[in-house]
Chains A and B, each alone.
Chain A
């Protein structure tokens, strides 16, 4: 009941609102004044080359990195001041594969059901529900270390969905997956969104995915948003008949200027790759 009252406010309030979002690691500015508003119910894509600052922006929005008051609001809640309430509204899938391989699929999801206070009477049913949604009901009693990359990603999706989040934040949900597994992940995301109206904030390096699934896209480069719009707006804005990949290149083409950064990013990418294998 109380949740009904809270959400009875104007539907125009954005799911995520960033104003001058900024973060520096030591002297290196990773996110440099990002302004965005993600509307409730949309799938919003955050694109950009390696090191653009997408993950850093997401970590600020999810309360993992300290944001300053006024920088980010999630459903009108200030991320710096109302951490617990913000976390309750969010389901998060990090860039790394991060299911606990020593636990079974069901145990992995159950943990998050407990951490989000799904009541005991509903827990078993709810865990089964989300595992079925991601097509893992049959593998629920197997340990996650026996799962394929695609299954792990879907298991993590189940972990993020078990609390019925109003905002799902996915950092490269299809990283390292084959085309069929990628479709598998996206089909589940679309299915849940259609059923619930959940908002999705997603990053990806696959332009075809972004084109097909995102309602709107922000192109980030060097910590800033360089372009923003629907996929068709972005494409026709460049030139008639342009592809999203051409748009991407047009806004981020100067990325080979900083060899130091690229070395670091290549290392990080390789580390992620080895974890996938």
Chain B
């Protein structure tokens, strides 16, 4: 009946398009999700400022006080220098661990259903979101690094090391945001996710080397610290930023494996959110 044209095209001559090969598709999706994240941050800057308050207090009050009383043995490194990379990792952790709330909100608002009907494999969507969380954490990192420099922390000036910092923050945030999205897939509701998020952030933070060296911890806490990816993130950031001896290859390997596992787990559970 209808003399439909061979490829109907809503007023456009070269659409729809042939599929992209997977190695082009994944980066394209990651870029798309990161751009949306940047656009959202540009529209709502208050969150950037309010989120900067807590790390600023840690550095200014906790950092300055503990520098003075010298309670934590950090060798020749001033305590504030020792603390700054830890607070950087902490702020990235806080952003990431509640990132799953966004995906639950998107589910409730019907946005997630629409994203899942685009030619985007679930793993690519999760990877995109994980990197988007990383982008958000990086904007926070800039604020913390500026403040640290103002407080006199001797940060590196080597651009390659700064590049390394970007990679480490991205990997760490990717892992913890995937952990959050995995919990979202299990908990399904926003309130439960909030509760679980709050319950695990402090143990992750205190059970790491962010505030004090692993050497001063009691034995049981050392064990926790060794299986806690946050410790590897802090170790790498410390090595890169203030030049303490660390095990960079091991840190990177742990973070890459953790991020990959997180992406796999969160993608596998994503379907539960739209059932």
Q: List residues of A whose CB falls within 8 A of some B CB.
A: 2-4, 7-8, 11, 25, 39-42, 59, 62-66, 84-85, 87-90, 92, 94-98, 100, 102-104, 107, 111-112, 114-119, 122, 126, 129-130, 133, 143, 159, 161, 163-166, 192, 195-199, 275
Contacts and interface: CB of A to CB of B under 8 A. Distances in A.
A104 B44 CA distance: 12
B115 interface: yes
B199 interface: no
A3 B39 contact: no
Contact of B15 (A42, A114, A115, A126): A126
Interface string B84-97: 00000000000000
A115 B17 contact: no
B39 A98 contact: no
B28 A87 contact: no
Contacts of B115: 115
A121 to B, nearest CB: 10
A39 B1 contact: yes
A115 B120 contact: yes
B120 to A, nearest CB: 6
Contact of B10 (A95, A107, A112, A161): A161
B117 A87 contact: yes
A164 B116 contact: no
Contact of A42 (B2, B17, B109, B120): B2
B113 to A, nearest CB: 5
A233 B79 CA distance: 83
B19 A85 contact: yes
B28 to A, nearest CB: 7
B59 to A, nearest CB: 30
A66 B270 CA distance: 13
A64 B113 contact: yes
B70 interface: no
Interface of B: 1-12, 14-20, 25, 28-29, 31-32, 35-36, 39-40, 43-44, 109-111, 113-121, 271, 274-275
A129 B119 contact: no
A36 B117 CA distance: 21
Contacts of B10: 130, 133, 161, 164-165, 192, 195-196, 198
Contacts of B110: 94-98
Given A87-B119, A161-B10, A98 B113 contact: yes
Nearest to A92: B117
B117 A195 contact: no
A107 B36 contact: yes
A42 B111 CA distance: 27
Contacts of B43: 102-104, 143
A111 B119 contact: no
Contacts of B28: 114, 117
Contacts of A129: 11-12
Label chain B's interface by main secondary structure. loop
Interface centre among B16, B40, B121 (most CB of A within 10 A): B16
Given A42-B2, A197-B2, A115 B7 contact: no
Contacts of B25: 117
A92 to B, nearest CB: 4
Contact of B2 (A40, A96, A107): A40
B5 A197 contact: yes
B8 A196 contact: yes
A88 B32 CA distance: 17
A234 B114 CA distance: 33
Contacts of B2: 39-42, 197
Given A42-B2, A96-B109, A103-B43, A195 B16 contact: no
Interface centre among A41, A63, A90, A111 (most CB of B within 10 A): A111
A85 B271 CA distance: 19
Contacts of B17: 3, 88, 116-119, 163
Nearest to A15: B4
A89 B16 contact: yes
A102 B263 CA distance: 26
A98 B43 CA distance: 19
A165 B115 CA distance: 15
Nearest to B15: A164
A131 to B, nearest CB: 12
Nearest to B271: A66
26 contacts: A3-B17, A3-B18, A7-B6, A11-B4, A41-B2, A87-B119, A87-B120, A88-B16, A88-B119, A89-B16, A90-B117, A92-B114, A97-B109, A98-B113, A114-B28, A115-B29, A117-B17, A117-B119, A118-B17, A119-B17, A122-B15, A143-B43, A196-B5, A196-B9, A197-B2, A197-B8
Contacts of A8: 6
